[in-house]
Structure formats: C-alpha cells, structure tokens
Amino acid sequence: MLRRTKIIIAAYCIAGLLFLGFALGLVLQFTDWLGNPERYKEFTHDHHHGGEAPGPETAPAKTYVAEGKTYMKVPLEEEDFDVTQSCVDLSQILQVNLDPKKFPDLEELQFVSAEESVGIPDEDAVVGVSIEGEEKAYPIRMLNYHVVLNDAYAGKEIAVVWDPLTMTPKVFGRKLVGSGASNPALIFRKLALLHKGGLLLCDQQTRSIWWPPEGKCFAGKLSGELLREYSFLLVSWKVWKDRHPGTTILSADTPFGHLYRRNWYDMYYAMPQLPVPVEGWDAQKSPFKWSEPVIAVEANGKAMAYPLSLLSKAQGAIEEVFGGRKIVFQYPPQSRPPYPTDDQGREIPYSFGAWFLWSARYPDIEVYSPDKETE
C-alpha cells in the first residue's frame, strides 16, 4: 500500500512539473509578444483567417520635383532623399512596409573567440570573411534583423550585408573605388525600399541610395559609384571555425538577443509565389521556384547559376569551365551550402541568393545541369 502511494505521489509530481514547464513557456511567449508584438504580425497577421502568410505590402516609391530637383519620399524617414542624380529608372523602386525600426541597427560590434562562442550551434550559417589573415564570422540569425553591419579590421572598413528577402550576402569596402585614404568611410543603414525584390541601403554621409547585389549607388550625390567587393564564404559555423581556428565571431550578447531566436523568413521563402513584384521575373517561364537558393558565378557580363537542388543530385565532384576559369564543387560537400573552388582547391569569388533575383538580373543566365556532365 505504501509503495502504491509513493508511485501515485511521484506521478502527481511529474505531472505538476510538466504543467509548470508548459505554463512557463506560455508566459515567456506572451511576455515576448508584449515586448515585440510587431514581429508576430509582420508576416503572420493573416494566419488567424486560415490563409497563407501574406507578403510585405509594396507601392511605387513617391517622387516629386521641387526647385528643379527630384526628391523621393521614404517611409519613416523624416527627410526626403535627393534623387536628382540617378542611374536607374526610379519607377522600379518600391516602398515596402518592412519598418526598418523593427530591424534595429547594431552600431557597437563585439566579437568573441571560437572557444567563447557558447550558445552558437555548429550548424548555424555564418558569413565568413578573411582579410589579410584576420578572420571574422557574422551569424545569419543576427544579420536577418540588422541587414547591414559596419565594421573595421585588418586596416579595412567594410560593410557586411545580408538581404533576408533575397538570401543575398555581400561584403564591401566602405570607401569608394579609387577614393583616397583620407576620404572617410561611408556608414550604411537599411531603407524601407526595394529594387528587384531586394532591400536598398543608404549611406549616412550623403544620403545616397545603394543596391547591395552590385555594390552600386543608384541615386543621390554618389550615383553610379561602386564599392570594392570582398570575398566571403556562406557556410556553417563549424565549417568556418574548422577552416579558420583563429577566427572570432560576432557576439549575440546584444540588446536585441530576443530577436535572434526566430527566423520568420522561412515562412516567407515557403510562399508558393514571389510575394513582391519584380520587373524581369516571369514565374510562368521559370524552371525553379522563386526562392530556390542558387550559387552564382559572374564573368564578362554573364552569369552561371548552380541551383542547390541540382547540385545535391551530383555524383562526385562537379567540374565546369565558365568565363575561362575552372569551377569545382566537391561532393559530398565539405559544407552546406557548398562553395566553389578552382582545380587547386582555392576558394573563388561567388554570389549566393534566391533564383528570382538572378533570373531578373540576367535574363539569359546559364544554369548548371547534371545531365550535361553525363553526356
């Protein structure tokens, strides 16, 4: 009888602990919602109606002429932007309801060693950058919300960019190509503007508007200027730190740590149709879903796309020649996503992003096909 009583008491205790854990989870979720309700409705405010997650609302950016100059209104910006000088059709720029204030700027960057990087899962994706022997890693889970980070190391001022709407990482020098050492480095921040489905940036000094995929200024005082591009690797944290044991990584110990726990963009990428209008994108003619991740290599004004879904079907190493250069993907890959090298195993510059962006930028883009290798 005593033994049976102990078993019953133990069962009640276990049930009580499970209930307390469940209740605590609900409380934490609710308090997180109270502090950040906007995050929960950014892509999900339609869920209670049973529909799929809606895409961001867009509209043509508003421009007007005053005193012989052309200005553009940008949501939540107190001062309009002077776009009198531009090298793009301004009608192709859209304003979007992605409030940059919901995606806070991170101005003070703190880094920790690989040994001190407690809490960063090995499988987490990072943008890894190596400049003159100094290596750093920037977690995608942080870049999803900050979009652009202004950093400086190895005597270089750089901007690390991740556009979560197009899955595009880029690393640029923050000084104009050809500018003298005395010129100040530009400081970038995100805008609630889109071009070809991707977020635009501006520099604080001249308030010029930039498009990250090309590192090019589209409008403003610096219209037509280019930034120097640096190579990067988009790989897992484990792959990067194994290749670069002396690396540091951006610390997630910031006032915005609560944001990094979720990635709402997976819901965005899962939408069956491209949620925003993009000139040059034709879903009817596309062989892939708009959000298919691709590795792209550019040469002589042309581009070759390697969709990850096709690379995964490869048997053994993939070797191709494009733009006069041999391109090799090792399979099975050392990392996911994989990255290209030359025939000596040296990393070569490449880009990464959603298929729709590359299809819109290069209507005649070449696409890797496993069938060609077997012919």
Query: Domain boundary at 201, 224, 259, which?
Result: 259
Q: Is residue 332 part of a domain?
A: yes
Q: Is residue 58 part of a domain?
A: no
Buried b / exposed e along 263-276 (16+ C-beta atoms within 10 A): ebbeebbebeebbb
Residues 303 and 369 reside in one and the same domain: yes
Q: How far is the C-alpha of 228 from the C-alpha of 214, rounded, in Å?
A: 10
Q: List the domain range (segments joined by +) for residue 351.
A: 280-374
Q: How far is the C-alpha of 46 from the C-alpha of 142, rounded, in Å?
A: 26
pLDDT digits (tens, 9 = 90+) for 295-306: 999 988 889 999
Task: Provide the pLDDT for residue 123.
Answer: 92
Name the strand (E) or helix (H) holding 255.
none
Residues 186 and 85 reside in one and the same domain: yes
Q: Is residue 137 part of a domain?
A: yes
Q: How far is the C-alpha of 248 from the C-alpha of 252, rounded, in Å?
A: 12
Residue 41: how many CB atoms within 10 A of its CB? 12
Residues 186 and 245 reside in one and the same domain: yes
Task: Provide the pLDDT for residue 41.
Answer: 36
Task: Provide the pLDDT for residue 209.
Answer: 98
The CA-CA-CA angle for residues 19, 38, 95, to 5°, reads: 155
Task: Provide the pLDDT for residue 370.
Answer: 80
E-strand stretches of 148-258: 148-153, 156-163, 168-176, 188-195, 198-203, 209-211, 216-219, 227-229, 233-236, 248-250
Task: Provide the pLDDT for residue 35.
Answer: 40
Residues 13 and 139 reside in one and the same domain: no
Task: Provide the pLDDT for residue 71.
Answer: 98
Q: Is residue 72 part of a domain?
A: no
Task: Provide the pLDDT for residue 184.
Answer: 87
Which mean pLDDT values do the consecutive 10-residue runs of the chain (375 residues) have?
A: 52 50 42 37 34 72 97 94 97 86 87 90 95 95 96 93 97 84 87 96 97 96 95 95 95 91 89 94 94 94 92 83 89 78 90 96 91 53
* 61, 93 Cβ separation under 8 angstroms: yes
Write out the DSSP string of 72-102. Answer: E--TT-SS-EE-SSBSS-GGGEEEES--GGG
Token pair 């977690």: residue: 139
Q: Is the peptide bond before 332 cis (omega within 30 degrees of 0)?
A: yes
Task: Provide the pLDDT for residue 52.
Answer: 47
Residues 289 and 352 reside in one and the same domain: yes
Q: How far is the C-alpha of 290 from the C-alpha of 273, rounded, in Å?
A: 7
Q: Is residue 66 part of a domain?
A: no
Q: Is residue 107 part of a domain?
A: yes
Residues 234 and 107 reside in one and the same domain: yes
The CA-CA-CA angle for residues 230, 232, 233, to 5°, reads: 170
Task: Provide the pLDDT for residue 9.
Answer: 55
Residues 97 and 217 reside in one and the same domain: yes
Q: Is residue 76 part of a domain?
A: no
Task: Provide the pLDDT for residue 23.
Answer: 45
Residues 251 and 138 reside in one and the same domain: yes
Residues 90 and 203 reside in one and the same domain: yes
Looking at the 3D structure of the chain, how many domains does it have? 3
Residues 6 and 143 reside in one and the same domain: no
Residues 94 and 200 reside in one and the same domain: yes
Question: Which of 302, 87, 31 is closest to 209 using CA atoms?
Answer: 87
Q: How far is the C-alpha of 151 from the C-alpha of 251, rounded, in Å?
A: 13
Q: Is residue 250 part of a domain?
A: yes
Residues 16 and 92 reside in one and the same domain: no
Task: Provide the pLDDT for residue 313.
Answer: 82
| Residue 314 DSSP symbol | -
The amino acid that residue 375 corresponds to is E
Query: What pTM was estimated for this model as a whole?
Result: 0.83
